[in-house]
Structure 1
Amino acid sequence: MNNNQTLEKLQQMRLSAMASLHKQHLGDNRIESMTTDEYLALLVDHQWEDRLNKKIVRLVSQACFKQKASLVEITYDPQRNLDKNSFVRLGTLDFIRRKENLIVTGASGTGKSYLAQALGYEACLMEYKVLYANTSKLLNELILSKMDGSYLKELKRVTRTDLLILDDFGLQALDQQSREIMMDIIDDRHNGASTIIASQIPVSAWYELIGEGTIADAILDRIVNSSHRIKLEGESLRKGKLKSI
């Protein structure tokens, strides 16, 4: 057996992790201590883990998170009105598997974005496709895409993700174009994928914020009725330069 040819073929088949480990074991003469089945399993597991890690890195990059957030870094101060048991259940991501939504509301600085992105990052680790976006920026980008004819392509990119995170929803009232695009997004994802909406505006004020009764009714019916709710309270976590969430 020509080991150099074997390594070259592994590289050509894009099994670089397997080739690297095989080369290392050849140099260390560790192959003889394993059975054929054990060695093959070792190589395959190494290649599998390498591809999984690369996929997760790619998913995190494509998600476009604003900050790195982790479920393990979340604090459950009673003043925040964040129930640990409820949020830990959300952290299992069963709500994504059930195509349910999550609404996180609270004043500026209470950690809405962090919670949403922590769930998003966990979803990437579980190999879900995630997209994080500032709501106003996303709607403006989609408005511009109508001008160059790429709207349907861009809308598909947004609606086909397993988890869409719309942050800072409601900071700007929706005009007619924004309302229609928001309706397209919510309607396409209804019962098919999960959406997290983070907003400083209480849900009770969303009807007026969206405007135009028919569209507002349709959007709220699709997004609110199938949503888990978190209403954060307390002072801004940014006061005193607090770094923990």
Structure 2
Amino acid sequence: MSSIDSVAQKYRGLYLSAIAQGLETVLGQAETHALSYLQFAETLIELELQQRNGKRIEQNQRRAGFPVHKSLDDFDYVFQSSISKREVNSLLDFGFLDNRENVVFIGSPGVGKTHLAIGLGLKAIASGYKVYFSTALTLIEALELAELKGELKKKINQLLKFDLLIIDELGYLPMNKQGMHNLFQLINALYEYRSIILTTNKEFTHWGEFFYDGNVAVPIVDRIIHHSHIFMLGGESYRLKSKLNN
């Protein structure tokens, strides 16, 4: 006669560890609530799916490379009144990802751009999308290194495997000619194929300041703003507010 331990061991042999671990508890619930065979079977598989989904989310969060964990639930819409919770929530059906559209947050340092970008990225991962986060500087350096190795196309193809690319802090530092060329290659490859969330401290009309070449800035801007949701964030810096309150 089979025991709970022997049956659980068989589940482990099939790599159904959540079912194996929760079998005794679910059997007790089935007896207490007189679950049907179908309800019992569904409860077991839901247990396994929940664990696997949790592991998938954790793995994709690590792969995304977020520098910190920033939840949308913690965003202060009272302090940052230039964007509303309703506007942000309108993005959470992720139609912009399915339609290969972009999201752009423009504003001075410290007004919450990165917080919103990471918060949306985490929500996207929880909804099953693959996300990659990088500061603009780190991304440009990685592209330049790949170009020097003759592997720029390979690097861009790796980034295209993600549904959403978050580029943070574009415009804080100027780029050299090769950096501009490499970034254009990436943006061109992403255009209408993958989505971008971009944060920048410069309005599009001022992008020539860090590109040093309007002939490069214009086509990049054109590809980013086409099919995009643009949010202008004003107000004072969160970090300054936090420092003054301490």
Normalised to the residue count of structure 2, the TM-score between the two structures is 0.88
Q: 2:177 — aligned with what? A: 176
* Amino acid paired to 2:9: E
SS at match of 2:170: coil
Query: In the aligned structure 1, how far is the partner of 2:241 from the partner of 2:72?
Result: 23
Query: In the aligned structure 2, how far is the partner of 1:148 from the partner of 1:193?
Result: 25
SS at match of 1:238: helix
What whole-Å deviation, never above 9, does each CA across 1:72-120 have from its counterpart, x for those lacking one? 2222237641133322212332211221111111111111110111111
The runs of 5 or more residues in structure 2 that have no matched partner are: none
Q: 1:138 — aligned with what? A: 139
- Judged with a 3 Å threshold, the aligned counterparts in structure 2 of structure 1 residues 153 and 9 are, in CA distance, closer, same or farther, namely farther
Report the Cα offset of residue 48 of structure 1. 0.9
More deviation in 214-223 or 37-46?
214-223
More deviation in 168-177 or 88-97?
88-97
- Judged with a 3 Å threshold, the aligned counterparts in structure 2 of structure 1 residues 87 and 25 are, in CA distance, closer, same or farther, namely closer
Query: In the aligned structure 1, how far is the partner of 2:209 from the partner of 2:241?
Result: 35
- Judged with a 3 Å threshold, the aligned counterparts in structure 2 of structure 1 residues 242 and 15 are, in CA distance, closer, same or farther, namely farther
Query: In the aligned structure 2, how far is the partner of 1:179 from the partner of 1:18?
Result: 52
Q: 1:219 — aligned with what? A: 220
Query: In the aligned structure 2, how far is the partner of 1:153 from the partner of 1:40?
Result: 45
Query: In the aligned structure 1, how far is the partner of 2:30 from the partner of 2:92?
Result: 41
Q: 1:103 — aligned with what? A: 104
Q: 2:59 — aligned with what? A: 58
Normalised to the residue count of structure 1, the TM-score between the two structures is 0.89
Q: Are 1:2 and 2:24 counterparts?
A: no
Q: 1:87 — aligned with what? A: 88
Q: 1:231 — aligned with what? A: 232
* Amino acid paired to 2:64: A
Q: 1:47 — aligned with what? A: 48
The answer to whether the 8 A contact 2:80-2:111 is kept is: no
Q: How many residues align?
A: 243
What whole-Å deviation, never above 9, does each CA across 1:181-239 have from its counterpart, x for those lacking one? 21121111111111011011122111443243443222111112222111111111112
Q: Are 1:167 and 2:164 counterparts?
A: no
What whole-Å deviation, never above 9, does each CA across 1:14-36 have from its counterpart, x for those lacking one? 1100111114446x585584322
The answer to whether the 8 A contact 2:104-2:229 is kept is: yes
Query: In the aligned structure 2, how far is the partner of 1:21 from the partner of 1:88?
Result: 35
Report the Cα offset of residue 70 of structure 1. 1.5
SS at match of 1:229: strand
SS at match of 1:108: coil
More deviation in 2-11 or 216-225?
2-11
The answer to whether the 8 A contact 1:17-1:50 is kept is: yes
SS at match of 2:91: helix
Q: 1:200 — aligned with what? A: 201
Q: 1:123 — aligned with what? A: 124
Q: Are 1:155 and 2:163 counterparts?
A: no
* Amino acid paired to 1:14: Y
The answer to whether the 8 A contact 2:71-2:119 is kept is: yes
The answer to whether the 8 A contact 2:204-2:221 is kept is: no
Query: In the aligned structure 1, how far is the partner of 2:26 from the partner of 2:231?
Result: 52
* Amino acid paired to 2:95: D
Query: In the aligned structure 2, how far is the partner of 1:66 from the partner of 1:49?
Result: 26
Q: 2:18 — aligned with what? A: 17
- Judged with a 3 Å threshold, the aligned counterparts in structure 2 of structure 1 residues 197 and 72 are, in CA distance, closer, same or farther, namely same
Report the Cα offset of residue 173 of structure 1. 1.6
Report the Cα offset of residue 46 of structure 1. 0.6
Query: In the aligned structure 1, how far is the partner of 2:140 from the partner of 2:48?
Result: 40
* Amino acid paired to 1:187: N
